[in-house]
């Protein structure tokens, strides 16, 4: 009888355990499911308020107006794995900002790990000149692409005190992204005309690959014979590449009028002997405080020339505001048969002259003509000149064949760097922000006025005084209540 009673009690207990145990588990699981559902809905709402003083994660009115008017599909790719980014990664500033762009119908943002998607990268950049490597971003619209790198996105300077080697002082992300979107989606594109009539290098014979890359980057390529034709209003940049004879006075006048309109000129010229010197062209260059020298640069520093040929130079890229973009990921560029250029010491406050390439101080500048002496020492091979008065830009290069098809095919290993260098120069000639001006967002620093003595007094009080006071209160409470 007793056994049966015990058995019944156990049976009841077991069924109660089972009943309440299982129902409790079901309720708990249901609660977790509801929790997940609510949070998924909340994350879809994407309601966020940017509380930063600099409005780091917000887009301004100008950006909103541009994005509203875009009628083409624009794709932004970030070459990162956002699931592996550390919390302090600078990419978050970009990702959080890009979320705002992504809310517009025609803008799509995706993140791609470049090393795991090589085929896709090759499809996007078959020539490998866009530098679609890790940590970069690219804005794509149809066939047009614009790459954004670290220095495009942040105002930063090199620092030995920083873990990453650079210290950011502000964000240019909105400026860079909006400009890039505007650039790839715009209908009116920059027109580049190669001059003809002086047996120059042209886009149809000598610069075929380079011209293709220019077209890929959204430029329209044309040719102009300055002697026979007028320069059209549509022309934004003229390229003079390796002319073998001087320009006529009429041509120079046309160039001067062209530059007076605030447009741009790129002169590239190798070192070679011609019957006549370029007197008219040199006179034109005098207005920009630069001259092409009648010499040929021979390097004697082994790290500055290609093994076996001292005229095939590997110059140093000078760090400046224009070359900053090229520096990121830049290795070496090979420059064959170059001449030096001179920056004249004439005071002209309207001109900003920035040297771009320099030889080693062991270089020898061999005179091309008998009346020109050899000189030894470092020499500039290229310079960028901005005329503040007219807004015109001139890029003078003592080398032209480094992007010639024949050279780039023979020395394929240097092709990519050469293209990168010239594209950046042309971008500068174009005026890379175009008509968009979005202010850089300088990081807010909450400075306080405090002397060292005050800082140490307050700091000492906070570290020693305040915690001791609180602990003392605790001790008093303990002493008063210990016998209760």
Partner 1 sequence: MWTIAKREIGSYFKSPIAYVLIGLFVLLISIFFWPRLQASRGDFITILGDMGFFLIFIVPILTMRTLAEDRKNGTEVLLMTSPTSLYKIVVGKFIGAYTVFLVTTGISLIYPLIIIMMGGMFTIQLTGGYIGFLLLGAAFIAIGILASAVTENQIIAAIISFVALIVMWVADTLATTVGGIVGVILEWISLISRYQVFTKGILGLAEVVYLLSFTIVILFLTVRIIERRRWVQG
Give the phi and the psi of residue 445 in degrees, each rounded to 5. Answer: -120, 125
Of residues 42 and 279, the one with the C-beta less far from partner 1: 42
For the record, the structure tokens of 291 come out as: 């001259």
Among the candidate windows 53-61, 133-141, 295-303, 415-423, which touches partner 1 by CB under 8 A? 53-61
φ/ψ of 239, rounded to 5, equals -115, 125
Q: Which of 4, 43, 187, 349 binds partner 1 (CB under 8 A)?
A: 43
Give yes or no for residue 109 binding partner 1 (CB under 8 A). Answer: no
Does residue number 35 form part of the binding site for partner 1 (CB under 8 A)? yes
Q: Cβ 46 to partner 1, closest distance in Å?
A: 8
The one among 6, 7, 10, 32 contacting partner 1 by CB under 8 A: 32
CB 96 within 8 A of CB 441: no
Interaction mask 460-479, partner 1, x per CB under 8 A: x-xx--xxx-xx-xxx-xx-
Contacts of 114 (CB under 8 A, 6+ apart): 79, 121, 132, 133, 134
Binding mask 416-455 for partner 1 (x = CB under 8 A): ----------------------------xxxxxxx-x-xx
Query: Does 369 participate in binding partner 1 (rule CB under 8 A)?
Result: no
Is the CB of 349 or the CB of 446 nearer to partner 1? 446
Residue identified by tokens 């620092």 is 159
Q: Which is nearer to partner 1, 23 or 321 (CB)?
A: 23
Distance, in Å, from the CA atom of 316 to the CA atom of 321, rounded to the nearest integer, reads: 15
- Reading the block at residue 335, the tokens are 């420059």
Q: How far is the CB of 156 from partner 1 (least distance, A)?
A: 18
C-alpha angle 346-348-352 in degrees, rounded to nearest 5 = 105
d(CA 12, CA 468) in angstroms, rounded, equals: 59
Distance from the Cα of residue 94 to its chain's centroid: 14
52 binds partner 1 (CB under 8 A): yes
Q: How far is the CB of 62 from partner 1 (least distance, A)?
A: 22
Tokens 């979005």 belong to: 438
Q: Which is nearest to 207 in space by CA: 426, 356, 429, 358? A: 426
CB 85 → partner 1: shortest distance, Å? 6
Helices 249-260 and 279-286, packing angle to 10 deg? 20
- Nearest Cα to Cα of residue 224 among 198, 187, 262, 257: 198
Pairing of strands 264-268, 393-397: parallel
Nearer to partner 1, 26 or 65 (CB): 26
Q: Which of 7, 10, 11, 13 binds partner 1 (CB under 8 A)?
A: 13
27 binds partner 1, rule: CB under 8 A: yes
Say which residue the tokens 């010639």 belong to: 404
Closer CB to partner 1, 49 or 118, in the complex: 49
Binding footprint of partner 1 on the chain (CB under 8 A): 13, 16-17, 20-21, 24, 27-28, 31-32, 35, 38-39, 42-43, 45-53, 56-57, 81, 83-87, 92, 96, 444-450, 452, 454-456, 458-460, 462-463, 466-468, 470-471, 473-475, 477-478, 481
């Amino acid at each position: 009888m007793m056994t049966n009673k015990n058995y019944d009690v156990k049976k009841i207990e077991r069924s109660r355990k089972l009943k309440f145990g299982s129902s409790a588990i079901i309720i708990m699981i249901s609660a977790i499911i509801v929790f997940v559902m609510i949070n998924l809905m909340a994350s879809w709402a994407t309601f966020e308020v940017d509380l930063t003083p600099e409005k780091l994660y917000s887009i301004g009115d100008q950006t909103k107006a541009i994005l509203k008017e875009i009628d083409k599909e624009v794709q932004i790719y970030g070459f990162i794995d956002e699931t592996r980014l550390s919390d302090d990664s600078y990419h978050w500033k970009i990702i959080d900002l890009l979320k705002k762009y992504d809310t517009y119908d025609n803008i799509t943002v995706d993140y791609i790990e470049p090393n795991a998607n090589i085929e896709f990268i090759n499809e996007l950049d078959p020539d490998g000149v866009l530098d679609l490597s890790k940590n970069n971003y690219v804005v794509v619209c149809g066939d047009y692409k614009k790459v954004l790198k670290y220095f495009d996105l942040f105002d930063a300077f090199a620092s030995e005190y920083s873990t990453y080697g650079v210290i950011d002082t502000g964000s240019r992300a909105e400026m860079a992204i909006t400009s890039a979107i505007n650039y790839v989606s715009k209908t009116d594109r920059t027109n580049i005309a190669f001059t003809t009539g002086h047996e120059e290098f042209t886009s149809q014979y000598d610069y075929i690959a380079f011209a293709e890359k220019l077209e890929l980057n959204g430029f329209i390529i044309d040719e102009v014979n300055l002697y026979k034709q007028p320069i059209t209003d549509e022309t934004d940049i003229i390229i003079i590449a390796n002319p073998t004879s001087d320009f006529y006075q009429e041509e120079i006048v046309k160039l001067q009028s062209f530059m007076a309109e605030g447009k741009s000129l790129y002169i590239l010229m190798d070192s070679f002997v011609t019957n006549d010197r370029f007197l008219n062209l040199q006179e034109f260059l005098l207005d920009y405080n630069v001259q092409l020298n009648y010499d040929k640069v021979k390097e004697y520093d082994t790290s500055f020339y290609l093994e076996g040929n001292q005229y095939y130079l590997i110059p140093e890229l000078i760090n400046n505001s224009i070359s900053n973009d090229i520096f990121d990921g830049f290795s070496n560029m090979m420059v064959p048969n170059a001449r030096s250029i001179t920056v004249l010491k004439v005071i002209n406050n309207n001109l900003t002259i920035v040297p771009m390439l320099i030889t080693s101080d062991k270089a020898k500048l061999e005179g091309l003509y008998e009346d020109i002496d050899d000189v030894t020492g470092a020499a500039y091979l290229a310079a960028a000149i901005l005329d503040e008065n007219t807004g015109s830009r001139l890029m003078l290069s003592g080398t032209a064949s480094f992007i010639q098809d024949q050279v780039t095919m023979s020395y394929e290993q240097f092709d990519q760097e050469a293209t990168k260098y010239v594209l950046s120069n042309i971008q500068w000639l174009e005026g890379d922000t175009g008509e968009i001006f979005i202010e850089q967002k300088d990081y807010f620093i909450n400075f306080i006025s405090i002397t060292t003595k005050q800082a140490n007094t307050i700091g000492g009080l906070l570290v020693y005084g305040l915690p001791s006071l609180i602990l003392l209160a605790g001790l008093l409470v303990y002493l008063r209540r210990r016998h209760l």
